[in-house]
Structure 1
Amino acid sequence: MKPSTIIAHLGEDRKKNHGAVVAPIYQNSLFTFESADAIDDAFSKFETAYIYTRGNNPTVTLLEEKVAALEHGEACKFFASGMSAISASIFSFVEACDHIICIDSVYGPTSNFISEYLGKKFKIQVTYVKGDDLEEIKSATQSNTKLIYLESPSSGIYACQDLKLIADYAKSKGIHTIIDNTWASPMFQNPLDFGIDVVVHSASKYLSGHSDVVAGCVVASKAIITKIFKEEHQFIGGKIAPFEAWLITRGLRTLPIRMERHEKSTEKVIAFLKTHKKVKSILYPNNNPIAQKQMRGYGGLFSIVLDTDGQGARDFIDRLNLFCIGVSWGGFESLAYAPIISLSKEMSKEKLEASGIHPGLIRLYIGLEDAEDLIADLKSALDMIN
């Protein structure tokens, strides 16, 4: 089935649900049984049985089946946040004193989790690389390297990595690979097809699409998901609530048409920005040869570098009217943000400089408003930059 059909029909059992076109919400903490034998049988099938909602829940299962299929994976597990999914997947592959290779423009909290939290508590080492040169990754590989963590396109600067090239190398060395595929969404890129072991998403973004849910997910083989479910998911307890899963399933229904709209509107906005003298450069991966090789389309998130300093970047976003100022993205509303504001607090000066973040960098997200209105708003704010 194609994505739109998967979203509409996969996992749906309308006969069981009295013909209801929308599956019900199983808003319950536990499931009861008719006999001791019945609950005994359920515990023998713990990975799939419905016993307690910290483990499995039918509302969550329906969502997991759809997202697994969209990502061309065997199984999926949802978590309470994107960082919960990311940390669980990393934990599943590393032990104390192991080594991780991670791209240097990865999502800030992921970088901090690896270098600060895992580094201090478990003496896990990390080497940061650009990621676009396999030789650099080979040079960074150590005898205790257990994981290569990717994000393509990456946060802020949208750097891309050759997924098949890296996956093939990693497999030859017995190293696992994880990629954050949030930017592309399952509509535009399927990393598992290139040999990547695990895909993670912040489901708060495109998958939900309405800025009303915080959640994350992991997609991989059944063996990997079963391991993560039994260990990190159950022991740490980062489960998603049934109502949130239902909201994401509802948002998922429109994912294909939303992504098409985001892409088309972004193309129009970027065409305008290329003509404005205050825009020094535009960071968007549509012209990247690596992205063109492994992606089917591009979303609504990109960055511009303004001919100004950090204060000028602040002034610019303050002058916007239709663009809300905020973190995150992937919803219906357009957003503007100056990454230097938070990154200067999250990252060391050295790491910030290494990531290539310019003080005049502005991250823009093009929502579902009319593109012409957004262009007018941007023009007004750009014209006032000194």
Structure 2
Amino acid sequence: MKDTFLEDQRICTDMAGSPDEFEGAVIPPVYGSTLFTFGSFEELTEAEKNQQSRYVYSRGTNPTVQLLEKKLAALERGEACKCFSSGMAAISAAILSSVKSGDHVLCIGNLYFSTLELLNYLKKFQVDHSVVYSTKLADIESAIRENTAVIYIESPTDTKFEIIDLESVSGLAKSRGITSIMDNSWATPLFQKPILHGIDLVVHSASKYIGGHSDVIGGALIASQTVLDSIFKSEYLLQGGVMGPYEASLLLRGMRSLPLRMLAHQENALKVASFLSGHDRVAEVHYPGLPQNKNHSSAKKYFSGYSGLMSFELKNGAYNEVKGVINRLRVFKIGVSWGSYESLVLSPNYGYNEGKLKKEGISPGIIRLSVGLGDAGVLIDDLDQALE
């Protein structure tokens, strides 16, 4: 595991090519050009045949974006990567490339709400979906239909952070000719590598830990070269959700510090989770890195580390209690998203949707924390006073 982490550190921090490639510059240049010219018309027409490996127009391939893609593919241990303008653009490309009218998508556990909104939107094209709120293989297998084309997962799952047995699920999918797609944003490719466990397509919201500074939106999709060649020609070029070179340069900056930041997020999160697990107002802490967590033994099989995103449940919690705790926090700021240096707090309980949460197996008293890079003692003190 240590050797793997050292290799990942090298991938994140090394520049591509020889030291002289960028005239000795410490930071690779940003290729802001929208187009690239050729010495002859014959060269242009030849390059047009393979825009994925030739620089023609930056909606296809750009040197700065391509450098980021190569690093992410190597870090994930995948054959190839394409970067998108957002995580949802990457998710959309992954799903749309894998389904046709009449197909069914099976979702396992709680998912990011926008992913489910996309699947609801696809009903207008006769693409159906269902959700099985269980991580047991028997329950997953029984939920597969004759027309199931995709099994879509997050591991850990959204909100409750349950662990899915990737090898069992990917093996089941392959035996049925089903494509497996996984959102790996929580762990990042540094701490979990789903492709090594048989997952076909891996997506990331690069806006989270990969960026790490709350100043760039982006997404990534890692898969085999064959799959991405197909996606490049259709879902990538034609839908237009492509990443720009300036966004790619910010994500390359984020990758250089990714290993150190993730270790710091993990250290802080373990301290916060340990504090919460012993608090008399807290019913349960959902963080797979916590040794006493019910998912910890499963997590050790797949994770080499843990991020800073977790949730906890208040005892007898309801909207007023949730709202009160959140509003009393001072260091944790109220905001969506996660994965950056700041510490954030949020709840899926908006006061009018408790019935929906219960249907999805989520306690109305749940509060989500994104533990940032501040002093863990200060964060714990903030939680302590808010829970009083």
Q: What range describes the TM-score normalised by the shorter chain of this pair?
A: over 0.9
Is 2:109–2:157's contact at 8 Å kept on the other side of the alignment? no
Is structure 2 residue 54 aligned with structure 1 residue 49? yes
Is structure 2 residue 296 aligned with structure 1 residue 292? no
- 1:255 and 1:342 map into 2 onto residues whose CA distance is 36
- 1:102 and 1:190 map into 2 onto residues whose CA distance is 20
Aligned to 1:313: 322
Aligned to 1:69: 74
Aligned to 1:195: 198
Q: For 1:109, which of 114, 122, 141 is the aligned residue?
A: 114
Is structure 2 residue 125 aligned with structure 1 residue 122? yes
Please identify, of 306-315 and 49-58, the stretch whose mean Cα deviation from structure 2 is larger.
Answer: 306-315
- 1:355 and 1:183 map into 2 onto residues whose CA distance is 20
- 1:8 and 1:104 map into 2 onto residues whose CA distance is 35
Is structure 2 residue 273 aligned with structure 1 residue 265? no
Please identify, of 129-138 and 105-114, the stretch whose mean Cα deviation from structure 2 is larger.
Answer: 129-138
Aligned length: 377
- 1:17-32 paired onto structure 2 within 5 Å: 17-32=22-37
- 1:134 and 1:15 map into 2 onto residues whose CA distance is 52
SS in 1 for 2:284: strand
* Structure 2 gaps, min length 5: 1-5
Report the alpha carbon displacement of residue 51 of structure 1 after superposing the two structures with TM.
Answer: 0.7
Report the alpha carbon displacement of residue 14 of structure 1 after superposing the two structures with TM.
Answer: 3.8
- 1:70-219 paired onto structure 2 within 5 Å: 70-114=75-119, 116-119=120-123, 121-219=124-222
Report the alpha carbon displacement of residue 137 of structure 1 after superposing the two structures with TM.
Answer: 1.8
Per-residue CA deviations over 1:277-319 (Å, capped at 9, x if unaligned) read 1111101123313212111111100001113311211121111
Q: For 2:332, which of 317, 323, 328 is the aligned residue?
A: 323
Aligned to 2:377: 372
SS in 2 for 1:2: helix
Is 1:343–1:352's contact at 8 Å kept on the other side of the alignment? no
Q: Which amino acid aligns with 2:87?
A: G
Aligned to 1:332: 341
Is 1:10–1:65's contact at 8 Å kept on the other side of the alignment? no
Q: Which amino acid aligns with 1:153?
A: P
Is 1:12–1:62's contact at 8 Å kept on the other side of the alignment? no
SS in 1 for 2:90: helix
Q: 1:218 to 1:131 in 2, by over 3 A?
A: farther
Report the alpha carbon displacement of residue 125 of structure 1 after superposing the two structures with TM.
Answer: 1.6
Report the alpha carbon displacement of residue 215 of structure 1 after superposing the two structures with TM.
Answer: 0.8
SS in 2 for 1:285: coil
SS in 1 for 2:350: helix
- 1:267 and 1:339 map into 2 onto residues whose CA distance is 22
Aligned to 2:259: 256
Aligned CA-pair RMSD: 1.5
Q: Which amino acid aligns with 1:297?
A: G
- 1:342 and 1:235 map into 2 onto residues whose CA distance is 40
- 1:343 and 1:9 map into 2 onto residues whose CA distance is 49
- 2:226 and 2:193 map into 1 onto residues whose CA distance is 19
Aligned to 1:235: 238
- 1:343 and 1:220 map into 2 onto residues whose CA distance is 39
Report the alpha carbon displacement of residue 33 of structure 1 after superposing the two structures with TM.
Answer: 1.3
- 2:195 and 2:298 map into 1 onto residues whose CA distance is 16
- 1:204 and 1:292 map into 2 onto residues whose CA distance is 26
Aligned to 2:311: 303
Q: 1:292 to 1:342 in 2, by over 3 A?
A: farther
- 1:217 and 1:366 map into 2 onto residues whose CA distance is 23
- 2:96 and 2:144 map into 1 onto residues whose CA distance is 19
Q: Which amino acid aligns with 1:311?
A: N
Report the alpha carbon displacement of residue 133 of structure 1 after superposing the two structures with TM.
Answer: 1.3
- 1:350 and 1:236 map into 2 onto residues whose CA distance is 36
Is 2:104–2:148's contact at 8 Å kept on the other side of the alignment? yes
Aligned to 2:3: none
Report the alpha carbon displacement of residue 131 of structure 1 after superposing the two structures with TM.
Answer: 4.3
